[in-house]
Amino acid sequence: MFKSEFLNMLKAVDALHLPQGGYAITGSGPLVIRNVRAAHDVDVVVKQALWHELCKKYTSYDEHHIKIGDLEIWGDFLNLTPRLDEVIDVAEMIDGYPFVSLQDTLRWKAFLNRPKDQADILVIKRLLNLV
The amino acid occupying position 74 is W
- pLDDT tens string, the chain, 131 residues long: the values are 688 899 999 999 999 999 999 999 999 999 999 999 999 899 999 999 999 999 999 988 888 899 998 899 999 888 888 899 999 999 999 999 999 999 999 999 999 999 989 999 999 999 999 86
Q: Report helix, strand or coil for 85.
A: helix
Radius of gyration of the chain (CA): 14
Give the span between the Cα atoms of 47 and 75, in whole angstroms: 7
User: Does the global pTM surpass 0.95?
Assistant: no
